[in-house]
């Protein structure tokens, strides 16, 4: 069974306790639309490191890596299993592609990972291997790392990049704000490159995309890079579909893109 690769916006950590159109979509995506994967490999924007890490845990703890949120969020746990055998396979793939990497144990899953996974697979019974991202790498390198593990999808492994296309906390409005034109224009430009699989343009998004300095500020660049890792994992199909797009606080984009999975009806 071949799984798609997904880019999923994880929004605010409060997504974990919200009930809205996006959380309903994520629940439907995991429980009704996708065939249950045997494992998940996830790249999270909240694990940004110059070293490439691969978790090797048998079980993951839940990291509450956020501050100033409602007390109930710190009581949420999502203790999912790991898959050390899959971790070793990923390590072998990286080694064969001359990508230096480090195995990691005991870190736990950050909220960029568990908030999304908990919505999609609430039973916590799908093993997870978490991989770090590196926002300092070139877009070409980020895409290439995702492409290295594209073959795992044919083993019923779901690859997810969790981040956000427009993620500028300094430009947020209130939660009733209508979507900002600049945010929509940036998302739509990225979407056009994805649908056309125009790598030449997309990999130069920092020079070519409209409003890129507002959408991808230097202090939050790590949020867009999971898109490139996930897209790379879909390189063997080169088919992109937008499954969801909405906004919170005027410009925080909540979107989901599927790469491959053309036989999945949605």
List of domains in the chain: 5-259 (3.40.830.10)
- pLDDT given for residue 265 in this prediction: 78
Q: Which pLDDT value is given to residue 198? A: 98
Q: What's this model's pTM, rounded to 2 decimal places?
A: 0.97
pLDDT at residue 124 in the model: 96
Residue-wise pLDDT for 126-148, tens only, equals: 999 999 999 999 999 999 999 99
Share of the chain above pLDDT 70, in %: 100
Residue the block writes with tokens 């490139």: 228
Contact call for residues 19 and 140 (beta carbons, < 8 A): no
Q: Which of 224, 80, 86 is nearest to 161 (CA)?
A: 224
Distance CA 176, CA 70 (A): 20
- The 10s digit of each residue's pLDDT in 70-106 is 999 999 999 999 999 999 999 999 999 999 999 999 9
| 200 pLDDT more than 80 | yes
Of 126, 120, 130, whose CA–CA distance to 63 is shortest? 130
The rounded mean pLDDT for the chain is 96
């Amino acid at each position: 069974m071949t799984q798609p690769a997904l880019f999923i916006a994880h929004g605010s950590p409060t997504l974990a306790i919200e009930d809205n159109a996006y959380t309903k979509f994520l629940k439907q995506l995991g429980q009704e639309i996708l065939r249950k994967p045997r494992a998940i490999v996830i790249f999270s924007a909240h694990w940004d490191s110059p070293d490439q890490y691969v978790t090797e845990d048998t079980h993951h703890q839940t990291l509450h890596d956020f501050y100033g949120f409602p007390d109930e969020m710190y009581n949420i746990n999502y203790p999912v299993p790991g898959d050390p055998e899959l971790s070793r396979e990923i390590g072998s793939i990286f080694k064969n592609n001359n990508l230096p990497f480090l195995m990691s144990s005991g870190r736990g899953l950050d909220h960029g990972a568990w908030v999304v996974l908990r919505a999609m697979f609430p039973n916590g019974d799908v093993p997870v291997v978490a991989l770090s991202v590196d926002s300092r790498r070139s877009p070409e390198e980020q895409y290439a790392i995702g492409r290295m593990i594209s073959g795992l999808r044919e083993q019923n492994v779901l690859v997810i990049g969790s981040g956000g296309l427009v993620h500028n906390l300094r430009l947020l409005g209130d939660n009733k704000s209508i979507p900002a034109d600049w945010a929509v224009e940036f998302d739509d430009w990225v979407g056009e490159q994805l649908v056309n699989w125009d790598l030449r343009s997309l990999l130069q998004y920092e020079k070519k995309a409209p409003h890129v300095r507002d959408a991808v500020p230097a202090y939050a660049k790590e949020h867009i890079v999971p898109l490139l890792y996930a897209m790379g994992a879909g390189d063997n199909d080169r088919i992109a579909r937008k499954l969801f797009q909405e906004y919170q606080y005027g410009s925080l984009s909540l979107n989901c893109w599927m790469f491959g999975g053309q036989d999945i009806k949605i």
